[in-house]
Chain A
Amino acid sequence: MTDIPPDTTGAPAPPEHEEERRALPEDDGEPRLRRAEDELRARFAEELEESEEAQERVGVSREAIVELEHISLAFDRPILEDVSLVARRGETIVIAGESGTGKSTTLKLILRLLRPDSGRVIVDGEVLNDVTYEEALVIRQKMGMVFQGAALFDSMSVFENVAFPLREHTTLSEDEIEARVREKLEFVDLEPDRVMDQLPAELSGGMKKRVGIARGMAVNPAIMLYDEPTSGLDPLTTGTITRLIMKLQRELKVTSVVVSHDIRSAFRMATKIALLAEKKIVFFGSPEDMTASQDRYVQDFLGGV
């Protein structure tokens, strides 16, 4: 399963899948899988509907904006082997998988905080393998990253955190910066006047995440990356953050890559899901296709939630 399944966004089930399914021994495999598929569909009905809407908005023929081509990376042991992934403009790709499978590492590769041992990373047409550190600093401004622990600068107020990228990379006046910070805080449903002067240490986990999102989107990047945006949050806040990511996708048309092991919110927002396991992408396709997948690992992963 090293090949990436073809782009099926918005299109009816591809012929390849049909063939594969027919190739299976009819007697035992087929009925069991069908039952599992129906069950999964029923279980995730609501989420799948939302995902379908997202896919309709994206359409099928958009250009690729984030591409991983045959990436391999090892630290003291191999982490990723021959991993390929494409995000088209406006899509929301969810990278799922158990912890320690290299999800955060994949985001860091996209940000060129890490470089692959082999394979190429392409962001908005630029091959990140070839750029210098200084050039990478510039390219990264196309991307907004929301870190797992929010990674707010703890010596700065909420206002200064969100204003930080604006001060660094724009020539906006102080008034314009304040207006922009207020706009972004309001977008993430925070009351600017209440939180602006607070320090990160005074905020709850969910609020930190929201400020992190506001900071990530401050310079209006075309791509948003999220590392486990809902981990460690209560179910209610998880819902809020998921809706927020979907709002960004819907209203601002940003391309998103979301690392998550919360499969329910993944199904809600993803146009495509990439499932990482054993150093490889074992599944890459729409949530719809995922419930229909016959791969044992995929079935187990979905069944286990």
Chain B
Amino acid sequence: MRVLAVQEYFGLAAKAIRFIFARPFYIGDVVQQMDSIGVESLGIVLLTGFFTGMVLALQTSVQMAQFGATMYIGRLVTASMVRELGPVLAAILVAGRVGSGIAAQIGSMRVTEQIDALNTLGVDPIKKLVVPRLVAALIMMPVLTILSDTVGIGGGNVIATAYVGIPTGLYWRTVWEQIASGGFILHYIPSDFVQGLTKPFVFGGIIAVTGCYFGINTKGGTEGVGNATTRTVVVASVMILIVDYFLTQVLLFLFG
């Protein structure tokens, strides 16, 4: 991306964040976007979460068997899902499914002059189009991640019980041990959750802003819309992975 584009990108992000708290509030649009993000992504997020949990359990069971420590499968699956794989996988999937959808929708509004029409009718497209998608993504991404984590840990349970013979009760006790081992914030909130939910929140923002940015800047008819969707998926996915690293460093420093 060109330097100017980077500046525009963050300009859009800053403006959208500022407008979250400014009238008018398009509550209806937010609900509609939450619905569409949730409905569009729930299936794939659950499916991939489940299989990821299973494969994690399978791999760790092989490794752990060498040390006779297979009872720790639950701990490992939980740590990996909650801190890393749940947030990152869900975000990458949503970037592909929802981010591209946002870019396509706003992009086609751009090339059919609907964005100009909003401006002409005295409505700021950032307030009407970007903010509802941003808010919806900020809310739905953590929700999707919690669900992904849960079915992932559930998938681990299936493998741990079926292949390794760890009783379900023991499995879930080790899951809880893992969650508790990270310590608590304000006595009740496991710090793993804080880490595990800060990430999807940030990733949700990245997905919405990236989709809106490439959508709004679409040029050149239907072909341009195709370009906008492709770029959104690539840029959002790469950003998610890079930001994940730095965010992990910061979160580890803050919460251990």
Quick check: A145 and B120 within 8 Å, CB to CB? Answer: yes
Distance in angstroms from A14 CB to nearest chain B CB is 36
A140, B121: Cβ atoms closer than 8 Å = yes
Q: How far is the CB of A137 from chain B (nearest CB, A)?
A: 5
Contact-size category for A: 20 to 34
Would you call B222 an interface residue if the criterion is a C-beta within 8 Å of the partner chain's C-beta atoms?
Answer: no
Restricting to B112-142, which residues have a CB under 8 Å from any CB of A?
112-114, 116-117, 119-124
Q: Please tell me if A113 contacts chain B, counting CB pairs below 8 Å.
A: yes
Is A168's beta carbon under 8 Å from chain B? yes
User: How extensive is the interface on chain B, given as a class?
Assistant: 10 to 19
Provide the residues of chain B in CB contact with A169, threshold 8 Å: 122
Are A147 and B123 in contact (CB-based, < 8 A)?
A: no
Interface contact A149-B113, CB-CB below 8 Å: yes
The residue in chain A whose Cβ has the minimal distance to the Cβ of B121 is A165
B116 touches A165 (CB 8 A): no
* In the bound complex, CA of A145 to CA of B117 (Å): 8
> Closest residue to B114 on the A side, CB-wise?
A151
Task: Tell me the residues in window 176-213 of chain B with beta carbons closer than 8 Å to chain A beta carbons.
Answer: none
Q: When the two chains form their complex, are residues B123 and A154 in contact, meaning their CB atoms are under 8 A apart? A: no
A24 to nearest B CB, angstroms?
Answer: 45
What are the residues of chain A within 8 A of B117 when measuring CB–CB? 145, 147, 151-153
Other-chain residue from B24, B116, B119, B121 in contact with A164 (beta carbon distance below 8 A): B121
B115 to chain A, nearest CB (A): 9
**Contact of A108 with B by CB under 8 A:** yes
Interface string of A99-134 (1 = CB under 8 A from B): 000000000100101000000000000000000011
Separation of A117 and B237 alpha carbons in the complex (Å): 38
A54 within 8 A of B: no
A168 engages B123 (CB within 8 Å): yes
Verify if A141 is at the interface (C-beta below 8 Å from B): yes
A-B contact pairs, 15 of them (CB 8 A): A111-B116, A111-B120, A137-B119, A137-B122, A137-B124, A138-B122, A140-B120, A141-B121, A145-B116, A147-B116, A147-B117, A149-B113, A151-B114, A169-B122, A215-B121
Interface residues of A (CB under 8 A from B): 108, 111, 113, 133-134, 137-138, 140-141, 143, 145, 147-149, 151-154, 164-165, 168-169, 215
